[in-house]
Amino acid sequence: MIDIAAAATTRNTRSTVDYLTTTHEVLESIIDQINDGIVIASPEGKISYYNNMVRELFGLSSESPVENLKDLCGINWSRRLARAAIDAGGDYGTLVASDRTIHFEEKIHAGDSIRFLEFTIKRLFSHSRHHEVRVIVVRDVSARRRLEATLQSGGACGLISNSPEMLKVFEKARQVASSDASIMLQGESGTGKSCVARLIHEQSSRNRYPLIEVNCAAVPSTLLESEFFGHTKGAFTGAHDQRQGKFQAADHGTLLLDEIGELPLHLQAKILHAIEDRRFQMLGSNETLNVNFRLVSASNINLREAIDSNLFRADLYYRISVIPITIPPLRERISDVPLLVNHFCDDLVARGHKDNIKITKAAWQALLNYPWPGNIRELNNAVEHGVICSDNGVVDVDSLPQDIQRFGRSASVVVTLQVPETSPDKSAEENAQIIQKFELQDAMEKAHGSKTVAAQILGIDRSTLWRRMQKAGLA
Ligand SMILES: Nc1ncnc2c1ncn2[C@@H]1O[C@H](COP(=O)(O)OP(=O)(O)OP(=O)(O)O)[C@@H](O)[C@H]1O
Ligand SMILES: [Mg+2]
């Protein structure tokens, strides 16, 4: 418990004591309601306060003692803090003595299950009482980590990403999958809208039934109505047989209306009613059919602008956009480029291309500098082009599609790149250090200064990159 009452008595007034005691009780009951664990401990690790959530997060029974930080699942705090210090770019001593907030994550065994807990530690210091405490906030991020793990291993629908914006998209997709709300996916062409629609379907309870896709731009407008609702034999010239429509095919499953912005105005009212009532009639029939599907729509044009231009009905827009999800373009999540390039190379190898594909610095520069108007689809094609046109498995800038090549030769890039100054007069170790420094500078340059991306380019983790940069005098 926090020793607030003791602090109050130093002021020696009864009313202050009452006031502080009441405040203390109110605060404590609020802190007990929140979903994060909160621990207050001395620098030596002695716990003076923890809320209810702590026992739950660490899977501790009501009898287990919670007196010292080491009672919390045997986490080696000093080792963990030292690692956090390296990750944050400092040393252990400076970090623990500073007022900087420390973050780290730990995988723990809580009872029978494994949990991923995120720790945020802040040092608080009372100058008047010369008293120092650490406030530790513990959050359960297991669901997020599991989702990331699935996605990073390319499992769920082949989607991979390590950008925070995309991981938020995946997380939202997971959250909303279990509901029946209509979802609107907006994003430029090739950003992965169809893939996210598949992810939503796969994670929903409708996944035993089909996901039916209609690309509203690909079907001639005269045929769209029969594509949606189906037709009876003889309903119109050329209708030789009865044919089921996509609405009916999607019964119990998910209906994906892709490029819905291309839906002709004259059909929009009819579609709105069919979606609202989940009822429709086949062309040429008076019988009303009931269907039960989850609607996901996708568009690469801005539908609000289409509404302003009277090309899209506002009532339909609101009906289909109960949960809007926007997928960011690739140029806004450039850290995905190395990950996706590796993924597409692996894919090509799995499809029979030669193993051990290498990508030159200039080609990496082109891939990282190009703005990718066609997004991931274009990147996929560029990688395939690069590998097919590679010279003995080495993808150089000339192996890439023409539009992309000039992004690997821009003046600024050529000027900033140095050649490592190794020399036969230097020892092998010195030369190795020079080359390593060059590689680090080069990776940082390609990654536009992002350590996460640079680490991916070099195939090492971020803390190794940091250590090497420090050793090379680059940090
Ligand atoms: N995060 C990702 N990881 C791996 N591959 C991806 C990812 N996102 C998209 N892709 C791939 O990129 C291509 C384009 O994706 P998708 O068809 O889902 O884009 P889209 O936004 O629906 O495009 P359009 O607007 O043209 O319909 C597909 O081959 C898909 O597999
Ligand atoms: Mg699509």
Does residue 10 form part of some domain? no
- Which of 111, 140, 169 terminates a domain? The answer is 140
Nearest CA to ligand 1 atom 9: 192
With a cut of 70, say whether residue 52 has pLDDT above it: yes
Check whether residue 181 and residue 318 sit in a common domain. Answer: yes
Domain membership of residue 222 as a residue range: 146-328
Nearest CA to ligand 1 atom 15: 192
Instruction: Give CA–CA dist 457/475, Å, rounded.
Output: 18
Does residue 428 form part of some domain? yes
Nearest CA to ligand 1 atom 23: 190
Strand partners, 86: none
Which tokens belong to 212?
A: 């039916």
Does residue 457 form part of some domain? yes
Nearest CA to ligand 1 atom 26: 189
Match 């500078």 to its residue by tokens: 441
Does residue 28 form part of some domain? no
Are 266 and 272 in contact, with CB atoms under 8 Å apart? no
Q: What is the CATH number of the domain that holds 103?
A: 3.30.450.20
Does residue 239 form part of some domain? yes
Centroid of ligand 2 to alpha carbon of 325 (angstroms): 14
Please report which ligand is nearest the Cα atom of 191.
Answer: 1
Check whether residue 65 and residue 86 sit in a common domain. Answer: yes
Instruction: Give CA–CA dist 216/463, Å, rounded.
Output: 48
What would the pLDDT profile of 57-109 be if each residue is shown by its tens digit?
Answer: 888 888 888 888 888 866 677 777 777 766 666 666 666 666 677 888 887 87
Which tokens belong to 134?
A: 């650490």
Centroid of ligand 1 to alpha carbon of 140 (angstroms): 31
Which tokens belong to 326?
A: 């926007």
Centroid of ligand 1 to alpha carbon of 397 (angstroms): 24
Check whether residue 51 and residue 200 sit in a common domain. Answer: no
pTM of the model: 0.62
Q: What is the pLDDT of residue 148?
A: 60
What would the pLDDT profile of 353-392 be if each residue is shown by its tens digit?
Answer: 888 888 888 888 889 889 999 999 999 999 999 999 998 8
* Closest atom of ligand 1 relative to the 327 alpha carbon: 21
The ligand 1 site (C-beta within 6 Å) comprises 158-161, 187, 189-195, 258, 300, 340, 376-377, 380
The enclosing H or E element of 280 equals: strand 279-281
Which tokens belong to 320?
A: 């289909």
Centroid of ligand 2 to alpha carbon of 261 (angstroms): 12
Least confident of 89-93, 351-355, 398-402, 446-450: 89-93
* Closest atom of ligand 1 relative to the 215 alpha carbon: 27
Amino acid at site 114: I
Nearest CA to ligand 1 atom 30: 192
Q: What is the pLDDT of residue 153?
A: 41
Check whether residue 222 and residue 84 sit in a common domain. Answer: no
Q: What is the pLDDT of residue 416?
A: 35
Check whether residue 219 and residue 200 sit in a common domain. Answer: yes
Check whether residue 351 and residue 298 sit in a common domain. Answer: no
Please report which ligand is nearest the Cα atom of 195.
Answer: 1
Does residue 4 form part of some domain? no
- Which of 328, 355, 376 terminates a domain? The answer is 328
* Closest atom of ligand 1 relative to the 300 alpha carbon: 25
With a cut of 90, say whether residue 318 has pLDDT above it: yes
Centroid of ligand 1 to alpha carbon of 159 (angstroms): 8
Q: Which tops the pLDDT comparison, 157 or 201?
A: 201
Q: What is the CATH number of the domain that holds 192?
A: 3.40.50.300
Nearest CA to ligand 1 atom 8: 192
Nearest CA to ligand 1 atom 16: 192
What would the pLDDT profile of 358-368 be if each residue is shown by its tens digit?
Answer: 888 888 888 98
Check whether residue 88 and residue 181 sit in a common domain. Answer: no
Instruction: Give CA–CA dist 457/311, Å, rounded.
Output: 45
Check whether residue 170 and residue 302 sit in a common domain. Answer: yes
Amino acid at site 187: G
Q: Which tops the pLDDT comparison, 471 or 435?
A: 471
* Closest atom of ligand 1 relative to the 166 alpha carbon: 1
Check whether residue 243 and residue 281 sit in a common domain. Answer: yes
Instruction: Give CA–CA dist 414/89, Å, rounded.
Output: 29
Check whether residue 107 and residue 150 sit in a common domain. Answer: no
Check whether residue 370 and residue 321 sit in a common domain. Answer: no
Check whether residue 320 and residue 379 sit in a common domain. Answer: no
pLDDT band at 151 (very low <50, low <70, confident <90, very high): low
Mean pLDDT of 406-433: 55
Does residue 12 form part of some domain? no
- Which of 328, 353, 377 terminates a domain? The answer is 328
Give the pairing of strands 294-299 and 254-258: parallel
Match 């045929």 to its residue by tokens: 223
Q: Which tops the pLDDT comparison, 167 or 11?
A: 167
Output phi, psi for 52, to 5 deg: -55, -35
Mean pLDDT of 20-30: 78
Instruction: Give CA–CA dist 360/366, Å, rounded.
Output: 10
Does residue 67 form part of some domain? yes
Number of domains in the chain: 3
